[in-house]
């Protein structure tokens, strides 16, 4: 595993090729997840959807902290580097809350570096990590579903004008189609540390939620790619009338169409990541675009991959159902992805006004 260090961004505005260092990041994590996360391990992690051993392995490689500043012991990796890792995790539907922990730690490092050092210094190795509440806390304290809330040691949330870290024990996991360790959460009465207030609190929180959506978009593109690979392998081997069924246009065209969507989603997520790291104020609409489109493309890809396997694809013995359920589940953790259309419209209108 190469050491992840800060470097100049090499993915340009209209060029989706990767630089040498980013290609190394992509290859390293593709190999790691292929080796450490076969489908059998994904199945063993159900129904909670969390593999503690895999999580500890990732912590040892520095994957959980690679996006943190080097002064805090991180790798100084760019948003694009993190998106490439998220792609690899999605490609193997890895049962670890890598995105949630990475985003929450980056937020903690920006808001309270000394507190972040404490988490980095030992809590991660002990299997504890912070996660992010994707919606501000309601005035009446109404509960919300929190990603990784069933396995986390703390939740960062925006409560009124305050960004706070709430420490406590994990809540019971909520049964869900995506086999994600989500849990109902509401702010506890104690164990609260205020990280920021006012405009700074709101800005830090908004940035973290955007980053979660960006990395989840990358992971969803990976899910779509992984599902289509399973479908392609199946249609190459399955025959009808002494011919591989992949030769039939009804199947090959559907796979090609879904693949086009997944590649587009991957490129859009990478473009959004490049702007997030290089020109964060230039194209803010790219993140909701990437998230909404990745959810759509991944859902179509897993549906096609399931259908081309015929009756087998709808059984629990087929690995494609792992991808189908996660594409459906992961894409709605923050709510209906179609709601992003309003955000896109508002951001584009602001650009025109500006």
Query: How does residue 352 score in pLDDT terms, banded at 50, 70 and 90?
Result: confident
Q: Quick one: average pLDDT of 38-64? A: 93
pLDDT at 18: 83
pLDDT at 127: 77
Q: Quick one: average pLDDT of 132-136? A: 97
Query: How does residue 112 score in pLDDT terms, banded at 50, 70 and 90?
Result: very high
Q: What does the pLDDT look like over 229-254, one tens digit per residue?
A: 999 999 999 989 999 999 999 999 99
Asked if residue 333 lies in contact with residue 305, where contact means CB atoms within 8 angstroms, the answer is no
Higher pLDDT, 75 or 220: 220
Q: What does the pLDDT look like over 1-40, one tens digit per residue?
A: 444 444 444 445 666 678 888 899 999 999 999 999 999 9
Q: Is the pLDDT of residue 113 over 70?
A: yes
pLDDT at 12: 55
Q: What does the pLDDT look like over 72-97, one tens digit per residue?
A: 988 999 999 999 999 999 999 999 99
pLDDT at 122: 66
Task: State the pTM of this model.
Answer: 0.94
pLDDT at 7: 44
Complete domains list, the chain, with CATH: 203-353 (1.20.140.10)
Q: What does the pLDDT look like over 266-291, one tens digit per residue?
A: 999 999 999 999 899 889 999 999 99
pLDDT at 208: 98
pLDDT at 221: 98
């Amino acid at each position: 595993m190469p050491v992840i260090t800060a470097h100049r961004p090499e993915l340009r505005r209209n060029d989706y090729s990767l630089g040498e260092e980013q290609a190394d990041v992509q290859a390293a994590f593709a190999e790691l997840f292929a080796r450490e996360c076969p489908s059998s391990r994904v199945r063993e992690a159900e129904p909670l959807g969390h593999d503690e051993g895999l999580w500890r392995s990732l912590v040892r490689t520095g994957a959980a902290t690679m996006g943190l500043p080097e002064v805090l012991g991180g790798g100084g990796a760019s948003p694009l580097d993190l998106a490439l890792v998220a792609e690899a995790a999605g490609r193997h539907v890895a049962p670890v809350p890598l995105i949630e922990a990475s985003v929450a730690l980056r937020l903690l490092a920006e808001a309270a570096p000394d507190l972040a050092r404490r988490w980095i210094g030992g809590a991660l190795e002990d299997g504890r990590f912070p996660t992010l509440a994707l919606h501000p806390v309601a005035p009446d304290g109404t509960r919300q579903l929190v990603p990784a809330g069933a396995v986390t040691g703390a939740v960062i949330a925006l409560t009124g004008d305050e960004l706070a870290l709430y420490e406590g024990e994990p809540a019971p996991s909520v049964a869900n189609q995506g086999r994600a360790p989500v849990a109902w959460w509401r702010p506890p009465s104690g164990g609260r540390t205020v990280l920021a207030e006012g405009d700074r609190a709101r800005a830090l929180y908004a940035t973290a939620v955007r980053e979660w959506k960006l990395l989840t978009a990358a992971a969803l593109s990976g899910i779509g790619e992984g599902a289509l690979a399973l479908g392609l392998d199946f249609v190459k081997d399955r025959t009808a009338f002494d011919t591989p069924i992949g030769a039939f246009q009804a199947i090959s065209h559907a796979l090609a169409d879904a693949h086009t969507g997944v590649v587009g989603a991957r490129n859009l997520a990478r473009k959004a990541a490049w702007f997030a790291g290089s020109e964060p104020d230039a194209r803010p609409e790219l993140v909701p675009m990437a998230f909404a489109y990745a959810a759509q493309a991944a859902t179509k890809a897993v549906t096609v991959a399931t259908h081309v396997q015929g009756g087998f694809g709808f059984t629990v013995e087929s690995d494609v159902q792992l991808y189908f359920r996660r594409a459906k589940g992961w894409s709605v953790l923050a709510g209906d992805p179609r709601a992003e259309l309003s955000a896109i419209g508002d951001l584009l209108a602001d650009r025109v006004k500006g």
